[in-house]
Amino acid sequence: MENLNVTPWEVSGELNDAAYSKLVEKFGVDLINDNLLNRIKKIAKGKLHPLLSRNVFFAHRELNLILDDYENGKPFYLYTGRGPSGKMHIGHLLPFTFTLWLQRVFNVDLVIQLTDDEKFLIGGKQKSEIEKFTNENILDIISLGFDPKKTHIIGDYKSAKTLYYYATDVARHITVSTIKAVFGVNDSDNIGKVFFPSMQIVPAFLLSAVSKKKMRCLIPYAIDQDPYFRVARDVLPKLGYYKPSAIISKFLPALQGNSAKMSSSKEESAIFLDDSREQVRKKLMKYAFSGGRDTLEEQRKYGANPDVDFAFLEYSFLEEDQNNVEKIYQDYKSGRILSGEMKVIAAEKISDFLEKLRTNREELKDKVSEYLFDPEKLSV
Ligand code: TYM
Q: pLDDT 10s per residue in the chain (380 long)?
A: 567 888 899 888 888 899 999 999 999 999 999 999 999 999 999 999 999 999 999 999 999 999 999 999 999 999 999 999 999 999 999 999 999 999 999 999 999 999 999 999 998 899 999 999 999 999 999 999 999 999 999 999 999 999 999 999 999 999 999 999 999 999 999 999 999 999 999 999 999 999 999 999 999 999 999 999 999 999 999 999 999 999 999 999 889 886 555 555 667 789 999 999 999 999 999 999 999 988 888 988 999 999 999 999 999 999 989 899 999 999 999 999 999 999 999 999 999 999 999 999 999 999 999 999 998 877 65
How many A from CA of 45 to the centre of ligand 1? 28
Which ligand 1 atom minimizes the distance to the CA of 260? 15
Q: CB of 115 closer than 6 A to ligand 1?
A: yes
- How many A from CA of 90 to the centre of ligand 1? 13
Ligand 1 pocket check for 86: Cβ under 6 Å: no
Q: Does residue 241 contact residue 214 with C-beta atoms inside 8 Å?
A: yes
At 1 the pLDDT is 55
CA–CA distance, 148 with 166 (Å, rounded to integer): 24
Q: How far is the CA of 201 from the centre of ligand 1 (A)?
A: 14
Closest CA to 71 of 187, 216, 195, 223: 216
DSSP 8-state assignment for residue 243:
P
pLDDT reported for residue 296 = 85
The DSSP secondary structure of 246-279, one letter per residue, reads EEEE-PPPPTTS--SPPP-S-GGGS-BTT--HHH
Query: Is 178's C-beta closer than 6 angstroms to any atom of ligand 1?
Result: no
Site to substitute for ligand 1 among 12, 80, 82, most atoms within 8 A of C-beta: 82
| Closest-lying ligand 1 atom to the alpha carbon of residue 118 | 23
First to last CA, the chain: 45
Q: Looking at the CA of residue 221, tell me the nearest atom of ligand 1.
A: 22
Give me the half-sphere count of Cα atoms (radius 13 Å) on the Cβ side of residue 190. Answer: 11
Question: Closest ligand 1 atom, CA of 119?
Answer: 36
Instruction: Report the nearest-CA residue for atom 30 of ligand 1.
Output: 81
Taking the centre of ligand 1 as the mean of its atom positions, its distance from the CA of residue 92, in whole angstroms, is 8
Distance CA 349, CA 331 (A): 17
Are the C-beta atoms of residues 270 and 255 closer than 8 Å to each other? yes
Of 103, 108, 84, 79, nearest in space to 200 by CA:
79
CA–chain centroid gap for 366, Å, is 26
Please name the residue whose Cα sits nearest to atom 5 of ligand 1: 82
CATH code of domain 262-364 = 1.10.240.10
pLDDT at residue 264 in the model? 55
Domain 5-254, second-level architecture: 3-Layer(aba) Sandwich (3.40)
Task: Tell me, using a 6 A CB cutoff, whether residue 316 lines ligand 1.
Answer: no
Query: Which positions ≥6 away from 269 have C-beta within 8 Å?
Result: 254, 255, 256, 262, 263
Task: List the one residue out of 100, 52, 82, 64 whose CA is nearest residue 224.
Answer: 82
Strand (E) or helix (H) holding 320? none
* CA nearest to 117, candidates 156, 152, 175: 156
Query: Is the beta carbon of 261 within 6 A of some atom in ligand 1?
Result: yes
List the beta strands (DSSP E) in the chain.
Answer: 5-7, 10-12, 30-31, 57-61, 76-82, 110-114, 151-155, 216-222, 245-249
**Whether residue 81 has its Cβ less than 6 Å from ligand 1:** yes
Using a 6 Å cutoff on CB, does residue 231 contact ligand 1?
no
Q: Is the CB of 205 under 6 A from ligand 1?
A: no
pLDDT given at position 258: 66
- Is ligand 1 within 6 A of the CB of residue 118? yes
In the chain, domain spans: 5-254, 262-364
pTM for this entry: 0.96
What is the reported pLDDT for 13? 84
d(CA 68, CA 63): 9
CA distances from 11 to 5, 263, 351 (A): 6, 12, 30
Using the CB atoms, write b or e for 226-261: b if 16+ within 10 Å. Answer: bbbbbbbbebbeeeebbbbbbbbbbbbbbbeeebbb
